């Protein structure tokens, strides 16, 4: 069974959004005010993953989004940060894969040689 990198990135986005909502609700119910910079960092990380999902300069966006999610995880490790770890894994795993296919495109490998026979020259 092969894992499609796009689905991993998609679930990383979903997990990040769910975590951000959980963070805001939890902090508010505890009587605090959510840190705006932290929520903004989560939004930027989610947007970077969204850019990677649609194959617009996917590898730099995926690396940036994963690094920002990892930073947010480390910052909040004493409280809710552990719950962000699956998003880091979902987003980080496809970085080492060949190439996530764009929406509606085939996932061919660009580095594999073409084994089709050569066409004969045309007489004309």
- Assess if residue 120 is contained within a domain: no
Residue 4 has which token pair? 């499609």
Confidence of residue 120 (pLDDT cuts 50, 70, 90): low
Whether the predicted pLDDT of 113 surpasses 70: no
- Assess if residue 50 is contained within a domain: yes
- Assess if residue 79 is contained within a domain: yes
- Assess if residue 47 is contained within a domain: yes
Nearest-angstrom CA–CA distance, 95 and 99: 8
Confidence of residue 1 (pLDDT cuts 50, 70, 90): very low
Residue 82 CA: distances (Å) to CA of 37, 39, 44: 19, 16, 19
51 compared with 1, residue with greater pLDDT: 51
Q: How many domains does the structure of the chain reveal?
A: 1
Whether the predicted pLDDT of 104 surpasses 50: no
Confidence of residue 3 (pLDDT cuts 50, 70, 90): low
Can you give the residue range of the structural domain that contains 16? 12-96
* 45-49, long-range: CB < 8 A, 24+ apart: 45/16, 45/69, 45/72, 46/13, 46/16, 46/17, 46/20, 49/9, 49/12, 49/13, 49/16, 49/91
Pick the closest to residue 39 from 82, 88, 11, 76 (CA basis).
Answer: 76
The percentage of the chain sitting over the pLDDT mark of 70, rounded to a whole number, equals 76
Q: What is the pLDDT of residue 28?
A: 95
Least confident of 16-25, 65-74, 107-116: 107-116
Mean pLDDT over the full length of the chain: 81
- Assess if residue 29 is contained within a domain: yes
Confidence of residue 99 (pLDDT cuts 50, 70, 90): low
- Assess if residue 4 is contained within a domain: no
- Assess if residue 103 is contained within a domain: no
- Assess if residue 35 is contained within a domain: yes
100 compared with 45, residue with greater pLDDT: 45
- Contact (CB, 8 A) for 23 and 34: yes
**Orientation angle between helical segments 85-92 and 58-75, nearest 10 degrees:** 160
pTM (two decimals): 0.72
Which residue in this structure is represented by tokens 């009587």? 31
């Amino acid at each position: 069974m092969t894992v499609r990198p796009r689905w991993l990135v998609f679930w990383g986005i979903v997990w990040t959004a769910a975590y951000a909502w959980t963070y805001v609700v939890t902090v508010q119910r505890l009587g605090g005010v959510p840190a705006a910079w932290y929520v903004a960092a989560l939004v930027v990380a989610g947007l970077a993953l969204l850019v990677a999902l649609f194959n617009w300069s996917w590898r730099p966006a995926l690396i940036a989004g994963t690094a920002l999610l990892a930073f947010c995880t480390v910052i909040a490790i004493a409280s809710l940060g552990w719950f962000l770890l699956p998003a880091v894994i979902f987003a980080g795993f496809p970085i080492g894969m060949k190439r996530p296919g764009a929406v509606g495109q085939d996932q061919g490998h660009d580095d594999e040689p073409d084994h089709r026979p050569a066409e004969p020259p045309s007489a004309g």
